[in-house]
Amino acid sequence: MTENLDPDAQLMLRFTRGDESCFIELVKSHKQRVFAFAYRFLGNAADAEDAAQEVFIKVYNAREKYAVKAKFTTWLFVITRNTCMNYLARRNKSSMVLSLDSEPDDREDSAALQVADIKDRPPMESILNDELSAAVKKALDSLPENQKTAVLLSRYEELSYEAIAEIMGCSVKAVKSLLHRAKTGLKGKLAGFLKI
């Protein structure tokens, strides 16, 4: 029966039987994808790394009750999405109790730009890319969580609508609708940065 499984699910099954090297192999194969999703979801490398580790700890702890019900990556992204959502909720909760004295990041950035020497500035193309990158980040952050998840899984992970629906626990039709609304939203936010 295990012959028909995807290789990652086979590794996970071997891990459930006690072969810890299989877990290491799974971490090596998927750490970058999990981290990338978390980074784009949370927008911060330190948080993303912490969340990615939480994901693999959950995988490790699930070894005794793991059963193959879907592709391993589908299961992994369900855990990743839930972990990122919990992480974001925890972060938002803790940021509410932070002091209001701190200045917004934008102001710090603009002050830093003012003092920067002109000769140290990167070429114009690089500045434009950085601006676009920041705009993309901001545009994605402005999307509702489910639209953002659908975009990350579709655009960056290149998962099928069926796989995304399974991860998000909704229908394929709902995924298409989420993606369409997300694309329209992104278009509105990024129009000023795009040359048409």
Binding site for other proteins (CB under 8 A): 24, 27-28, 31-32, 35-36, 39-40, 45, 49, 52-53, 56-57, 60-61, 129, 132-133, 135-137, 139-140, 151, 155-156, 161, 176, 179-180, 183-184, 186-187, 189-191, 193-194, 196
**Alpha-carbon dihedral angle through residues 95, 99, 104, 107, given to the nearest 10 degrees:** -160
Nearer to other proteins, 104 or 192 (CB): 192
Compute the least distance from the CB of residue 63 to other proteins, in Å: 11
Compute the least distance from the CB of residue 117 to other proteins, in Å: 25
Say which amino acid occupies 1.
Answer: M
Nearer to other proteins, 8 or 54 (CB): 54
Nearer to other proteins, 111 or 184 (CB): 184
Structure tokens at 167: 């991860």
Separation of CA 159 from chain center? 13
Q: Where are the alpha helices (DSSP H) in the chain?
A: 7-16, 20-42, 45-61, 72-96, 105-115, 124-142, 145-151, 161-168, 172-190
Compute the least distance from the CB of residue 106 to other proteins, in Å: 18
Nearer to other proteins, 91 or 176 (CB): 176
CA angle 117–123–126, rounded 5-degree value: 115
